[in-house]
Amino acid sequence: MFSSDKKLGIVGGGQLGKMMLYKTRQWDIYTKVLDPSKEAPSRMACNEFVQGSLTDYDTVYNFGEDCDYLTIEIENVNTDALQKLEDEGKIVHPKPSVIKLIQDKGLQKEFYQNNKFMTSPFALYASREDILQALNTGKITFPFVQKSRLAGYDGKGVAVIKTEGDIDSIMDVPSVIEDMVAIKQEIAVIAARNSQGEVKSYAPVVMEFNEEANLLDLLLFPADMDTYIADKAKKMAEDLIEKLDMCGLLAVEFFIAENDDVIINEVAPRPHNSGHQTIESCNVNQYEQHLRCVFNFPLGETTVHTKSAMINILGDKGHTGPVEYTGLDACMQKEGLHIHIYGKKETKPFRKMGHITVTNTNLEQAKTIALWAKKQIQVKSLQLQS
C-alpha cells in the first residue's frame, strides 16, 4: 500500500474521513473520496474527490470501479453497489452485508437477540397506525422509545414517548419500539478486527448527552467506572465484532443500567464520534486502527497514555449560513487543549462543526477545561437571519 499505485476508496467525505486521511497522507497511501457536498471536510486531504450521492447504485459502483480497497465513514451508503464491487474482487471492509444489517436498527436488535447479547426488550412495527393500535390493546405501555429502523442519525430518528401527551411525536415510519432503560451511565467501546481475526478494543469512554439536541455533549476517557463492568463491556464489544465476522472498527454504544446490567444500545461499523480523543490519548488512534484493519496490518496498541475530555463544537441555535467562530483564541491559551475544525463552510443549529480534546493527568480537570471551552466558543453566522 505504501507509495504504491493501489487506491483506497472512502465512501463518505465528512470529518471522520478527514481524520482517517491524516494517516493516509502520513503513510503515502493513495485515496479517493465520494461525497455529495463539494465542500466535504475530506476534500482537502484526499488525492481524488468525486462529488455524488452515497446512496445511488450507479454512483457508488462507478466510484469504486478503479479502487483496490473500499471502506466507509458513514453507514448510509448503497450496499448493493458495494456488494457487487466485492463480488468482482475488490476488498471491501466492513463487508457490505454487515453494513446492510447495521443500517436497519430492527435487524441489529434481532442480531443481538439471536446471538444472546443483552439489549433492551423490543418489538418491530411497520407504521404509526400499528403502534397506536398496539398502545390501545396494551401491547405497548408508557414509557417507551421509538426508533426509526432506517437512517436514524444523531438523535433525529429517536422519540422518547413518556405519556399520552407525547403521542403526537410518534413518527410514521417502520420502527423499533424499545422499553425505556433506567440508565445510570452511557459508555462506548471501540473494537477493531483485521482479516486475520486479530481483535483489540479501546477502554470504554463515558458519553454525556445534550438533552435538547439529543447529541453527544461531553466524552470522558477512559471512563471512570467499575473495572468489572468496563471489562465486561470490552469483552461484549470484542465478541460482537467476531460474531459479525467483520473487519474494521465497530463502535459499540452501551447503556449501563441502574442495576449494572451492560446493555448494547447500537453499533456503528466505522470510526466514531466517541473515539475522536484517541488522537491525543493513544499512540494508535481509531482512524489509524481502522486503516490497519482494512489493509490487514497488525493492529496497534490501544493503551491510554493520557486522559482526556472531548466536546463537540456545534452550530449555535438560530444560526444558519456561512460560519464564523469566536472564542478559539481564548482556548488556544490553555495547556493541553486541542482544537479540531472540520472545514464545513455553512453552520446550522447543532451541526457538528468541530471538536476539542483536552488532555490532562486529572480527568476532572480535563472536564472542567472542556466545559469552559464550550462556553467560550460561539459558532454563528453573521448573515441576516430570515
Query: Residue numbers of the site for ligand ADP (CB under 6 A)?
Result: 120, 145, 147, 152, 154-155, 157-158, 178, 180-181, 183, 186, 209, 214, 253, 265-266
Provide, rounded to whole angstroms, the least separation between the CB of residue 260 and ligand ADP: 16
Using an 8 Å Cβ cutoff, are 34 and 62 in contact?
no
- Min dist CB 176 to ligand ADP, Å, is 9
Least CB distance to ligand ADP at residue 184 (A)? 11
Q: Please check whether residue 332 is in contact with residue 340, taking contact to mean a CB–CB distance below 8 angstroms.
A: no
User: What would the grid cell of residue 57 be?
Assistant: 447504485
The minimum distance between CB 5 and ligand ADP, in angstroms, equals 38
Q: How far is the CB of 247 from ligand ADP (least distance, A)?
A: 23
**Residue placing its CB nearer to ligand ADP in the complex, 69 or 255:** 255
Nearer to ligand ADP (CB atom), residue 186 or residue 280:
186
For 227, other C-beta atoms within 10 Å of its C-beta total 7
In the complex with ligand ADP, which residue's Cβ is closer, 69 or 144?
A: 144
C-alpha–C-alpha distance, residues 20 and 199, integer Å: 20
Q: How many Å apart are CA 170 and CA 111, to the nearest integer? A: 25
C-beta closer to ligand ADP: residue 210 or 296: 210
- Residue 332, H or E segment: helix 328-332
Assign 271 to helix, strand or coil: coil
CB of 185 to ligand ADP, least distance (A): 11
**Which three three-digit cell numbers place residue 178?**
424499545
Nearest to ligand ADP of 152, 315 (CB atom): 152
- Of 125, 117, 181, nearest to 149 (Cα)? 125
String of DSSP letters for 159-200:
EEE-SGGGGGG--SSSEEEEEPP-EEEEEEEEEEE-TT--EE
Question: What's the min distance (Å) between Cβ of 173 and ligand ADP?
Answer: 13
* Cβ atoms of 105 and 149 closer than 8 Å: yes
Half-sphere exposure (Cβ direction) of 93: Cα atoms closer than 13 Å? 24
